[in-house]
Amino acid sequence: MDSKQKIIKASNTYYKNFNEQFTRKLLSLNSYIDEDESNDALNYSRLIHALYNISDENNKDEVNLSYFLKFAIYYLKGKQSDNLLSYYEQLVSITTLGLLNQRINDIRLLLEEEELTDIDYDKYNWVEILYIETMRLYLLIVRQGKGFKDIDTVNENINRLIEIQEEKEEVMVKAGFLSQREMGQLVILYNTIAALNDVNQYLEKGHPAQINVKLDRYFDNIKEGFSSGVDARFQYSIENIIKGLELTIKNSIWKQLKTGTRMDEFVEEMVARGNEKPIFQLLPSQVDAFQGGIDRPLTSAIVIQMHTSAGKSLLAHFLIAQTLEMNSEGQIAYVVPTRALVHQSLYDLRNTFINLDYNIEATIPAYEIDKVEEELLDERIDILVTTPEKLNLLVRSNHPSVKELSFVIVDEAHNISDNNRGPALEFLLATLKRKNEYIRTLLLTPFIKDDSNRELIAHWLGGDRGLPVYSKWRPTRQIISLLKRYKPEGSRYYKFSLETIIPDHMDEFTDYPEFEEEITFPTPKPSSLKSMATAMAKRFISKGAVLILAESPFHAENQAKDLADSIDDEVGLSEDLKLLIKFIKEELGENHLLIDCLEKKVAFHHSGLSEEIKILLEKLIVNGDIDYIIGTTTLAQGMNFPISTVIFRTIYFPRPFGENVQMEPEVFWNIAGRAGRVFKDYAGRIIFLANGEERENEIKDFLQKRGEGINSAIFETIKNIDEFSLQFDRELVMDNQALSQLLQFISGTLNLISENGEISENVEQVIDEVLRLSLAYRQLSDKGEAERKKLLNIAQKYLAYLQRKDNWKGVATLVDQTGFSSMTVDYLMAQKRNLPNFAEINLKDVISESEQMTNLIKILGGIPEINLGAGTEGSFNPGLVAAVTQAWINGISLTKIYDDLLAGIHDDIRKSIKYIYQTITGKVSWGMGAMQSISLSGEREDVDEVLNLPSMIYYGVPNDIGVALRMAGVPRTLAVQISQNLTGDEFSIKENKLSGTRQWLQDLSLEKWNRYAQNSNLNGKEWKRIWELIEA
């Protein structure tokens, strides 16, 4: 066995022991390291260092390197007081080794634990001072902690060294002749410090120019100094510093992104002094993406797959800046799947581009554009945050906000596979390509099955200009474990054990051992999944915030109550959290459970809370004001929370009127991937709970499942349809959202072709051209001629059904305008005689008289895409739905709507709030807009405020100004108060637009805030802060 193999064998022996010890510590199982292991830690680190110097190949892939760093540090801490110089030498070696292996998260966490404070210069000679300071300054440059603090410390200490240099050199000369070795060391140290200074300046400002040339000159001088016969340990440390500086420059944001154009303004913003979290270096995953070519302008479709929190957002923001630099007249759409993500993405984009002259706005997610939104969006918009459904409407209607659309970013792009929302996104992308084959698209996702799936999606959207990009780098590791409750044979009492699990498909970044260890809990011991979750959450809260995933809103609230009740100590609440509690009392009453929970820094988050409360909870979670979050899967869609531990109570979730369904692997990994905060945690903990052997086996089987990647939701739909018995009626699309959207896509695209005068007499040719744009066609073609032919046959049959209508072009136009299938449009057109004349209707009558609203709701009840039932079985009562809708529009509080109208239907207010926010704001507003389109049929220009009815329903306000204020982030309660108390010409929608509305609110005097809040328990200052938290 040669020396290298011996080192590898010895290193892995040490590693196995360290790995298990460290994992146990991360799971709070036992002590981190004991005295006997400290020598092993030092030996292991030395063996690794030796391996790196055996050959030029640096066989790092043959040795596990994950956790030994931590143990070496603990050994070194014990040695610091004995020999500071030796301590820094080892720390430099460990730091560079971590950089070489892309363990930047671990290294920065290690260095955060080190004080790296100024040394007492009186204790050392000049050479020793320079040597220690050289190593310390290198470590500060790598750490890059606390904004600019470390950068500034390096500058200050280098200046200090320059100030005392002459004095210290004079002392050395007087002490006697300098040896050749000392002279060589001085040359090396002066050049190394000069290199450190230039690197530090470059990280902050992007200059000096030609940084690599300057560093090469310093490094050549250093190598020449080595020839003077310096100490081997000294040389090894300096060589490690050189390696680390080269990597630091290579991965710096300036080196990776600087172009010498206006684009550099983006980079300057990333490292600006006013930035709370300046970005001096890119993450390894981001470097992978740029080296993969995402910044090449000719790429027309980029598909980026990275793990959660690996830095996808910065890539998207860079490409936005690049696009606007290349085409200042271009417009950009940032597409997200949910209302919550619209808010978060809008905040992130504004925060990134805060000092750049970009107008960034968001649309109402409703499927309609009314007068208020038209006026608010009637300004130049550079970046529009929206949902697929709304962007589809804007694109098809050629709306000015997207008329010059040149770049579309799709976040959470794996939603293409979702049966309900996926087709809308798929066909949106196909439509964009049909209108402009050169439009650029960027898809961001953590989930794609393999290389072939990435390549398929990239080629579908971009052809030969499509670019798939993948980085396997993870910012933090995730440790998956299973808490098991069992009763030993012959025992009366339950016991608990924690078992680590590694799924077969996990990558090399999941390097923790499999083991099982008994654990104990204080009395009373957990007796249910609820109490097990509470016990585990409290066990890990010292590591960081904990998320518990519950089966339903009901279970989430019960879990939160149990956890909050178990916290006996008083907890300190931030001022913002105290204000949120006061706001919830205003919105939901003094006795709402969430109030008691928040007073213990416990929150629950689900569909039974108002949008404002959910947004405020999300902001406070991000700000670190809340310790425990209990949520449902609605929290999973891309929300970026600082979570250290995720606890899964179950892998099954209830369906409204059916059996429980198992969580999809993609949903699990989307949630689990949030465990572990970058530069805060060594690892994220993912914990499942099992109260019996059956559940334990189910969980283990579940963890072996992999996601299917991005696939068209149409594929399964087409496969399961009998094309020969197909009847195009409302029943066909009643429970088949994917098929409904396929038919909308066909009719909508035919409408677009007809408008452009491109319609062909060859029906098959037209259908083939339309469907070739879809992912469904591409994937079905891969399955064979029969599947592809089946899709074409269904499409041809549907086209023939359309063309039998005398007014088929009008139907196709209305399909575009309403977002409903042609069968639903037929139904609504047949009901047209029962519709009021919206050109003559009095808005006040609609929102106040029960008969008129009830008649409208009756018609909506026949639309298959809309289920307006409020009862437990989805029963439909038009009068009740109309009453709830009117109360909502007129600003009646949620608690009063529940007490007066829904208490007999729903057993608690949670279900009523969910009904209002999902059914009333979403479906009734959608249906109302569709009925207006059909009733008016081209008369919209002469119609005034009644066109705003859909937005008024969506936002729950009684007038146009209320809608404008709600779009600007004002909570519903206050928006109603302001809109009803404005006097004279205090506010104009037409003049202010959306950006001006925010400025108007910002400039309001405290006196006016207090006037508008006079009927509230919150004062004007408190309301303004609530608005700032929502809108910030």
Give, to the nearest 10 degrees, the angle between helix 972-981 and helix 960-967.
140
Q: Could you tell me the CATH number of the domain that includes residue 586?
A: 3.40.50.300
Domain contains 46: no
Lowest model confidence (mean pLDDT) among 32-41, 60-69, 247-256, 660-669: 60-69
| Alpha-helical regions (H) of 503-610 | 529-540, 553-565, 575-588, 593-598
Compute the mean pLDDT over every residue in the chain, rounded to the nearest whole number: 83
Distance of CA 900 to the CA centre of its chain: 39
Q: Is the same domain home to 736 and 649?
A: no
Distance CA 773, CA 748 (A): 13
pLDDT band at 365 (very low <50, low <70, confident <90, very high): low
pLDDT band at 78 (very low <50, low <70, confident <90, very high): low
Q: CA quadruple 879, 882, 888, 894: dihedral positive or negative?
A: positive
pLDDT band at 1019 (very low <50, low <70, confident <90, very high): very high
Listed ranges 82-96, 267-281, 582-596; the one with the highest mean pLDDT: 582-596
Q: Give the per-residue pLDDT at 562.
A: 96
* Contact predicate 533/647, CB 8 Å: yes
Compute the average pLDDT of residues 567-591.
92
pLDDT band at 1023 (very low <50, low <70, confident <90, very high): very high
Q: Give the per-residue pLDDT at 701.
A: 92
More confident residue, 46 or 259: 259
Domain contains 328: yes
Q: Give the per-residue pLDDT at 332.
A: 95
H or E element, residue 765: helix 763-771
Q: Is the same domain home to 301 and 394?
A: yes
Q: Is the same domain home to 554 and 678?
A: yes
Q: Give the per-residue pLDDT at 393.
A: 79
Domain boundary among 224, 250, 276: 250
Q: Is the same domain home to 884 and 762?
A: no
Q: Model confidence over 437-470: pLDDT tens digits? A: 889 999 999 888 778 888 989 999 998 999 999 9
Domain boundary among 470, 492, 515: 470
Distance CA 672, CA 308 (A): 9
pLDDT band at 334 (very low <50, low <70, confident <90, very high): very high
In the predicted structure, residue 31 carries a pLDDT above the cut 70: no
Structure tokens that stand for 782 in this block? 């891969």
pLDDT band at 308 (very low <50, low <70, confident <90, very high): confident
Distance CA 801, CA 820 (A): 16
Compute the average pLDDT of residues 319-325.
92
* Contact predicate 798/707, CB 8 Å: no
Domain contains 18: no
Q: Is the same domain home to 219 and 154?
A: yes
Domain contains 58: no
CB contact set of 709 (below 8 Å; sequence gap of 6+):
414, 417, 447, 448, 449, 450, 453
In the predicted structure, residue 602 carries a pLDDT above the cut 80: yes
Compute the average pLDDT of residues 381-389.
90
Compute the average pLDDT of residues 913-922.
88
Q: Model confidence over 128-163: pLDDT tens digits? A: 999 999 999 999 999 998 889 999 999 999 999 999
Q: Model confidence over 993-1014: pLDDT tens digits? A: 767 788 888 888 999 999 998 8
Q: Model confidence over 947-957: pLDDT tens digits? A: 788 889 999 99
Distance CA 755, CA 768 (A): 19
Structure tokens that stand for 843 in this block? 């808005």
* Contact predicate 73/24, CB 8 Å: no
The CA-based diameter of the chain, rounded to the nearest angstrom, is: 109
In 195-347 the beta strands, taken as DSSP E runs, fall at 301-305, 331-335
More confident residue, 666 or 1029: 1029
Q: Give the per-residue pLDDT at 984.
A: 67
More confident residue, 440 or 98: 440
Q: Is the same domain home to 679 and 758?
A: no
Count of domains in the chain? 5
Distance CA 813, CA 800 (A): 17
Compute the average pLDDT of residues 509-523.
80
pLDDT band at 501 (very low <50, low <70, confident <90, very high): very high
Structural domain including 922 reads: 832-1031
The pTM assigned to this predicted structure is 0.89
Distance CA 189, CA 599 (A): 56
More confident residue, 220 or 873: 220
Q: Is the same domain home to 482 and 466?
A: no
Compute the average pLDDT of residues 271-278.
85
Q: What's the one-letter identity of residue 497?
A: S
Domain boundary among 229, 250, 271: 250
More confident residue, 719 or 884: 884
Compute the average pLDDT of residues 18-47.
64
Listed ranges 371-380, 617-626, 919-928; the one with the highest mean pLDDT: 617-626
* Contact predicate 553/910, CB 8 Å: yes
pLDDT band at 973 (very low <50, low <70, confident <90, very high): very high
Q: Is the same domain home to 452 and 497?
A: no
Domain contains 277: yes
Structure tokens that stand for 167 in this block? 């004095």
Three-class HEC string of 444-508: EECCCCCHHHHHHHHHHHHHHHEEEEECCCCCCEEEEEEEEEECCCCCCCCEEEEEECCCCCCCC
CA distances from 916 to 277, 615, 677, 888, 889 (A): 39, 17, 35, 8, 11
Q: Is the same domain home to 347 and 488?
A: no
Domain contains 104: no
Domain contains 174: yes
More confident residue, 965 or 375: 965
Compute the average pLDDT of residues 865-869.
76
In the predicted structure, residue 626 carries a pLDDT above the cut 60: yes
In the predicted structure, residue 968 carries a pLDDT above the cut 80: yes
- The closest of 466, 444, 442, 470 to 456, measured between CA atoms, is 466
Q: Give the per-residue pLDDT at 55.
A: 43
More confident residue, 515 or 658: 515
Q: Is the same domain home to 534 and 585?
A: yes
- The closest of 409, 361, 415, 954 to 636, measured between CA atoms, is 415
Q: How crowded is residue 607: how many other Cβ atoms within 10 Å of its Cβ?
A: 16
DSSP 631: E
Distance CA 347, CA 258 (A): 25
Q: Is the same domain home to 517 and 661?
A: yes
Q: In the beta sheet, which residues pair with residue 362?
A: 385
CA distances from 151 to 97, 148, 240, 256, 492 (A): 22, 5, 20, 20, 61
SS3 119: coil
Lowest model confidence (mean pLDDT) among 184-193, 248-257, 820-829: 820-829
Compute the average pLDDT of residues 327-354.
88
pLDDT band at 7 (very low <50, low <70, confident <90, very high): low
Q: Give the per-residue pLDDT at 283.
A: 94
Distance of CA 402 to the CA centre of its chain: 24
Q: Model confidence over 928-943: pLDDT tens digits? A: 888 887 777 655 555 5
Domain contains 810: no
Q: Is the same domain home to 861 and 962?
A: yes
In the predicted structure, residue 30 carries a pLDDT above the cut 80: no
CB contact set of 925 (below 8 Å; sequence gap of 6+):
366, 368, 950, 951, 953, 954
CA distances from 957 to 367, 373, 976 (A): 18, 14, 6
Structure tokens that stand for 481 in this block? 């474990």
Structure tokens that stand for 622 in this block? 């991000």
Listed ranges 289-298, 702-711, 792-801; the one with the highest mean pLDDT: 289-298
* Contact predicate 473/310, CB 8 Å: yes
Q: CA quadruple 37, 39, 43, 45: dihedral positive or negative?
A: positive
Q: Model confidence over 155-200: pLDDT tens digits? A: 999 999 999 988 888 887 777 767 778 888 999 999 999 999 999 9
